[in-house]
């Protein structure tokens, strides 16, 4: 009697959109068993991080427990561990605590990290917005500067209520809109003794448009919506240095601030340099149209961790919809290979780009032909696409729907100042508070 072969082992690194998309499609398939490894025991829904940072949503609303997600899938084993090295030839991954997992297939989907482009002080003193941890730290810092300024209004002269957002791409623009709304609608009501109107949100970008990847009409619309909410837009200048109490811009001006939010760019997660595969733009792994790397059959690299070729000769954008579709496609591809069925290259069904700038102020460029929508219709489209993305990673999307409903009624979620590490500000570091700006420096206040 010949033994029936056991299920093939698929090792997935990363429980983001790509990893979850793959694992969910493989769940309950008898041909495979899956080990899903993530350094967090939850999936974080990045598109809603700025709602957490501005207290519109609670952290729990945008995080989904990985174990809960797969509790009815006996062939999926979730491991909480940080992968530190990968051997793509042996198809093994090794974790920081020394465990080694070997698969018949490896799926590498470890996502991105902020790219500070070696800007002095940016990594030390700015607040990125890439993870749930980042969003919670940022929320605490925003609340702390308001609390400190409320107690000691003189701190406003030290830049307490100046907020500098670096990068006018989707992350920076959405964050600027949400922060301006938080200040205008909530802080004015909650801090009645404080001159909240002194608060300023600066959006700085070395490019010449807000929401660069969008159309020209969208650039103007986004800029006008931000200006309506009081955001000061500084285009064509870059941030040269971030310090504990100010930023220095390339035109020689300084802005006193205790909160710089970094939306300046992304690069592949640190693991990319430890996987022994060729790295391309942004440190991402360059893959073929079937999401594998030449010479390493059975090793798939996807999502933000990869440069995935697109039919126009460029690479696919770093988007949740690209990652989710790539994850699902990889699962199908593995199942086809096991069953000896032929397959076709990964083909991304382009959903377009969208960004939400504030109440009823959204932009959507739909599909490959970029049909453009603005305002409430675009907001409704944004909701639909995000509900689709969220349903790809969690079963219950009621918190999201509830938030969307509340958003129209302008109510706010939790405002607890719970991250003391991020909230601690040493106001004494500020120098020359009462002095004029130095020669050659223009002070913006
Ligand atoms: C603020 C913000 C807003 C966004 N808004 C949108 C939007 O509106 N629409 C949209 O389509 N896209 C949006 N994106 C982009 C989208 O979130 C990403 O493209 C998507 O999350 C990429 O999915 P991924 O699975 O490749 O990576 P991720 O979702 O980043 O997941 C990577 C996973 O790998 C884990 N990991 C990393 N390193 C290791 C390691 N060494 N060991 C173990 N685990 C590891 C991480 O913990 C994480 O869970 C936004 C991104 C940000 C930051």
Can you state the angle between helices 398-409 and 375-391, rounded to 10 degrees? 160
As beta bridge partners, residue 64 has 43
Sequence-ordered list of residues with C-beta below 8 angstroms from that of 5, at least 6 positions apart, any chain: none
> Residues with catalytic annotation?
174
How far is the centre of ligand 1, averaged over its atoms, from the C-alpha of 223 (Å)? 27
Compute the distance from residue 269 Cα to the ligand 1 centre, in Å: 10
In ligand 1, which atom is closest to the CA atom of 318?
A: 19
Vertex 226 angle, CA 252 and 424, to 5°? 65
Q: How is residue 329 annotated by DSSP?
A: H
CA nearest ligand 1 atom 27, residue: 111
Atom of ligand 1 at shortest range from CA of 351? 11
How confident is the model at residue 406, as a pLDDT? 63
Q: Which tokens hold the place of 125?
A: 């003193």
Could you identify the atom of ligand 1 that is nearest to the CA of residue 84?
41
- Among protein residues, the one with the nearest Cα to ligand 1's atom 53 is 130
Ligand 1 pocket by C-beta < 6 Å: which residues? Answer: 13-19, 37-40, 46-47, 49-50, 82-83, 109-112, 129-130, 171, 269, 271, 303-305, 318-321, 323
Whose Cα sits closest to atom 37 in ligand 1?
A: 110
Which ligand 1 atom is at minimum distance from the Cα of 131? Answer: 53
Strands 443-444 and 371-374: unpaired
CA of 183 to the centre of ligand 1 (A): 28
Run of H or E including 421: helix 420-423
pLDDT in tens, the chain (445 residues): 556 678 999 999 999 999 999 999 999 899 999 999 999 999 999 988 998 999 888 888 888 899 999 999 999 999 999 999 999 999 999 999 999 999 999 999 999 999 999 999 999 999 999 999 999 999 999 999 999 999 999 999 999 999 999 999 999 999 999 999 999 999 999 999 889 999 999 999 999 999 998 899 999 999 999 999 999 999 999 999 999 999 999 999 999 999 999 999 999 999 999 999 999 999 999 999 999 999 999 999 999 999 999 988 899 999 999 999 999 999 999 999 999 999 889 999 987 888 988 877 889 888 777 888 898 888 888 888 887 777 766 655 666 666 666 665 555 655 666 766 767 787 775 554 333 343 333 333 3
Closest CA to 17 of 124, 145, 112: 112
Cα(390) to centroid(ligand 1), Å: 13
Question: Residue 356 and residue 1: Cα distance in Å, rounded?
Answer: 62
Question: 107 and 12 in contact (C-beta within 8 Å)?
Answer: yes
Which DSSP symbol is given to 279? B
- With tokens 């029936």, the residue in question is 4
pLDDT of residue 402: 65
Contacts of 396 by beta carbon, 8 Å cutoff, 6+ apart = none
Residue nearest to ligand 1 atom 39, measured at CA? 110
Site to probe by mutation for ligand 1, drawn from 107, 269, 324, 331 as the one with most ligand atoms within 8 Å of Cβ, is 269
Q: Measured between alpha carbons, how far is 218 from 210 in angstroms, rounded to an integer? A: 8
Q: What's the CA-to-centroid distance between 134 and ligand 1, angstroms?
A: 13
Which residues, in sequence order, are bridge partners of residue 32? 8
């Amino acid at each position: 009697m010949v033994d029936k072969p056991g299920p093939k082992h698929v090792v997935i690194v990363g429980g983001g959109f790509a990893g979850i998309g793959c694992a969910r499609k493989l769940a309950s398939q008898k041909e495979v068993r899956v080990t899903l490894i993530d350094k967090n025991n939850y999936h974080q829904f990045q598109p809603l991080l700025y709602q957490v940072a501005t207290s519109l949503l609670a952290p729990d609303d945008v995080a989904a427990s990985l174990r809960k997600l797969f509790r009815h899938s006996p062939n999926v084993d979730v491991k909480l561990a940080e992968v530190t090295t990968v051997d793509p030839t042996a198809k093994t991954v090794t974790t920081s605590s020394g465990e080694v997992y070997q698969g018949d297939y490896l799926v590498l989907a470890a996502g991105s990290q902020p790219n500070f482009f070696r800007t002095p002080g940016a990594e030390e003193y700015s607040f990125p917005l890439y993870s749930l941890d980042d969003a919670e730290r940022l929320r605490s810092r925003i609340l702390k500067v308001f609390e400190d300024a409320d107690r000691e209004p003189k701190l406003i002269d030290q830049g307490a209520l100046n907020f500098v957002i670096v990068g006018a791409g989707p992350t920076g623009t959405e964050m600027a809109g949400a922060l301006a709304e938080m200040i205008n609608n909530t802080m004015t009501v909650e801090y009645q003794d404080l001159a909240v109107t002194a608060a300023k949100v600066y959006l700085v970008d070395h490019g010449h448009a807000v929401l660069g990847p969008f159309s020209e009409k969208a650039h103007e619309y986004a800029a006008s919506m931000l200006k309506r909410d009081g955001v000061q837009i500084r285009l064509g200048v870059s941030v040269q240095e971030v310090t504990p109490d100010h930023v220095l811009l390339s035109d020689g001006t300084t802005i006193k601030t205790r909160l710089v939010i970094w939306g300046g760019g992304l690069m592949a997660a640190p693991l990319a340099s430890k996987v022994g595969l060729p790295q391309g733009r942004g440190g991402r792994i360059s893959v073929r149209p079937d999401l594998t790397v030449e010479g390493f059959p059975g090793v798939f690299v996807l999502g933000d961790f990869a440069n995935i070729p697109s039919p126009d000769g460029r690479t696919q954008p770093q988007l949740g919809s690209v990652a989710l579709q790539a994850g699902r496609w990889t699962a199908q591809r593995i199942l086809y290979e096991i069953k000896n069925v032929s397959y076709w290259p990964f083909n991304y069904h382009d959903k377009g780009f969208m960004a939400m700038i504030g109440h009823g102020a959204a932009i959507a460029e739909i599909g490959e032909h970029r049909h453009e929508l603005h305002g409430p219709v675009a907001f409704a489209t944004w909701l639909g696409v995000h509900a689709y993305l969220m349903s790809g990673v969690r079963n219950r999307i009621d918190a999201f729907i509830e938030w969307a409903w509340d958003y129209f009624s302008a109510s706010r979620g939790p405002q607890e100042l719970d991250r003391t590490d991020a909230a601690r500000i040493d106001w004494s570091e500020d120098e020359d508070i009462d002095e004029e700006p130095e020669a050659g420096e223009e002070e913006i206040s």
